Amino acid sequence: MPSSISWKKLVKKFRALGFDGPYSGGRHLFMTKGAKRLIIPNPHKGDISKSLVSELLRQAGVSGKDWNT
């Protein structure tokens, strides 16, 4: 299971997995990979929780193994 992570590290990891962005999209930013569009949380002071990271990975179709490499 992924651990909590800062917003900057989250974006960096998704970029390493082939996602582009983040782009402005209304209330929240989003990242894209092909036709897939992943809404990400807005930057804030605290880390992003493990449960939210897990949900983002599920929506993105990224396995925990791929995330941790």
Pairing relationship of beta strands 28-33 and 36-40 according to DSSP bridges:
antiparallel
Fold of 7-60: Metal Transport, Frataxin; Chain A (3.30.920)
Residues 6+ apart with CB under 8 A from 39: 25, 28, 29, 30
Residue 26's identity, in one-letter code, is: G
Residue 49's identity, in one-letter code, is: S
Q: 32-69 pLDDT, tens per residue?
A: 999 999 999 988 888 999 999 999 999 999 998 888 87
Cα–Cα distance measured from residue 69 to residue 7, given in angstroms and rounded to the nearest whole number: 18
Q: 6-40 pLDDT, tens per residue?
A: 999 999 999 999 999 999 988 899 999 999 999 99
Q: What is the pLDDT of residue 1?
A: 60
